[in-house]
Chains A and B, each alone.
Chain A
Amino acid sequence: MILGKASIKFDESPYIQSYASVVGKKEGEGPLGGKFDAVIEDPMFGGDSWEDAESRLQAQIAHYTIRKGNFSTENIRYIFAGDLLGQLIATFFGLKDMNIPLFGLYGACSTMGESLSLGAMSVAGGFSECSLCLTSSHFASAEKNFRFPLGYGTQRKFSATWTVTGGGGVILGKKPSKARITGITTGKIVDYGIKDKENMGACMAPAAADTIYQHFSDFSSKPQDYDKIITGDLGYIGQTILIDLMEEKGYDIKSNHMDCGIEIFDKDEQDTHAGASGCGCSASVLCSYVLEQITKGAWKKVLFVPTGALFSPVSSNEGNSIPGIAHAVVIEHA
């Protein structure tokens, strides 16, 4: 059912049939370390370049997700996947051997929200029995793609975030399970004119606020209706901004807001500054801690809002600001 200006409430909500997360060593040493399906110590994932490493990571996520739910690749009708690299090479090279029809997505770090939204639509609309939604990011391939070579000596600002090496996958289908996606709100591109690429939280927070606000008005809901409102990778600065912006709009989300970028690392012990980022950040936290809580029934209803900073080194060099986007997905215990 179409709802409000930017939302869908599913008449037949797709169920989460399987989920899995795979992360790197640093993430494994973080506060959520014990919750991931696999922690892989080798930063190269057995590959011979950073891009190859992330491709292998993405393939592993797909395999873990399929295996954990006792599926086989033939059961999957569509894959909705993406990553942060130019031309989505981690996705395309990582998943090319799977032989499954695939939609490649780019929504910066909001991609998990985008893939879950489209995956849920494909299942709920009756166009797919089973859709696999997954994303990944890799610290080193992201640094190489967006910033400096790893060996280059620079100082990171306090507002900078640390790209997560890891990712997660979800299989959506019709078979009843303990968790399901009951609605989505698709985000708009929101540009508050920030140009500082070392403060992604400030670029994305207005987009998160916009989507969450839109969600509340489309669904006529309020913050108290959700056990958690979980953003992707705003980090500490972005979280402060989001809470302030929501307060301006008359909503208090202070008590139930959680940010995956804050949860995954211990910022003092792991020296990650403002938090974590990357498509793998929200995906790996969703497919471990968050879905575990929902499946257990500890959380009944969650608003999952991955956030993306639409940053490109080219547009940035050409003087453009960094717009943000955020996609909201309602996940409920069933």
Chain B
Amino acid sequence: MCSSLWGLHHGFNPVLSRLCVFQGFKLLGILDVQRTPCARDAILHGAGGSVAAGMLYFLATSRVRRSFDVGLAGFILTTLGSWFYCRINNAKLRVQQRVIQEGIRNKVIYEGTVLDPSNKPKADARSGSS
């Protein structure tokens, strides 16, 4: 629907062109690499790992079919490794983000009250004055 052939045959359609912005690019029709966090990087790393593994095996053994098998294994392992590494880092960032948001919210609520975490203890003021 978003291909240029559609535009050629049916004329420019502003509604369809806006829809195409939403659709993204789906590998095998299921994995939206544009809108899924970490997907694009994982697939690109996987492609690189696949090419590297396949080429190295071929240079070492000159076996073509087995090199493709090794390339596929490299793709799967590199994609998985990159994916989980990125997802774990994202999860840690999300936790930090929630902690910071909670801290900002608490500071706004408690500012100027006894519970304000940025208040200095009153014992310092008393010892300083005497």
A and B are interacting partners: no
